[in-house]
Amino acid sequence: MRTILKHGCFLLFMSLLASCSSDDGGNKDEEKPTITINYNGGVPQGCAQLVKGETYNFKAKVTDNLALASYSLDIHHNFDHHTHDDQGEQCDLEEVKQVVNPLIFMENYTLESGLTSYEINISITIPDDIDIGDYHCAYSVTDATGWQSRTSIDIKIIE
């Protein structure tokens, strides 16, 4: 009788274990969103020279297989010649120099729910009173499940 009870409990336990699953039956998002400036109209292209006092529309295309959530634009100095792991073309850099009054632009934007493609278009006027020299322009995009992609471009701000 004990053997039957042991085997019965074991079979019941195994049945319960087999019926449990971590699969909720839904599709799992395993794809990062994409971001590109490499198209006709993407701004800025690598090694672009932006003039102080001028206004530019910073443009990039972002896509996702399910849904986009947000994006950001970050423009910061590269006077110390740092790099980013996702950086494409590298340009000729000026001498390393001290920061006095650099341009720093960091903004995050939320997208309406359900979009799978979007063109970022942010108008920025380059201030007249900032340091000229080497800068990075970094775009980032996040999808609805939290995957993120980014790209960084070397640019120069000139007089």
Q: What is the DSSP letter of 56?
A: E
**In this predicted structure, what is the pLDDT of residue 24?**
55
User: Is residue 5 one of the residues assigned to a domain?
Assistant: no
User: Is residue 14 one of the residues assigned to a domain?
Assistant: no
Question: Using one digit for the tens of pLDDT, what is the confidence trace for 23-37?
Answer: 555 678 899 999 999
User: Is residue 17 one of the residues assigned to a domain?
Assistant: no
Domain that holds residue 61: 33-158
User: Is residue 97 one of the residues assigned to a domain?
Assistant: yes
User: Is residue 58 one of the residues assigned to a domain?
Assistant: yes
53: domain CATH number is: 2.60.40.3880
Domains identified in the chain, total number: 1
**In this predicted structure, what is the pLDDT of residue 11?**
47
Question: Using one digit for the tens of pLDDT, what is the confidence trace for 89-142?
Answer: 678 888 999 999 999 999 999 999 999 999 999 999 999 999 999 999 999 999
Q: Please tell me the distance from the alpha carbon of residue 69 to that of residue 72, in angstroms, as a whole number.
A: 11
Instruction: Name the residue with higher pLDDT: 7 or 157.
Output: 157
**In this predicted structure, what is the pLDDT of residue 91?**
85
User: Is residue 80 one of the residues assigned to a domain?
Assistant: yes
User: Is residue 16 one of the residues assigned to a domain?
Assistant: no
Mean pLDDT, all residues of the chain: 87
User: Is residue 27 one of the residues assigned to a domain?
Assistant: no
Q: How confident is the model at residue 146 (pLDDT cuts 50, 70, 90)?
A: very high
Q: Does the predicted model carry a pTM greater than 0.85?
A: no
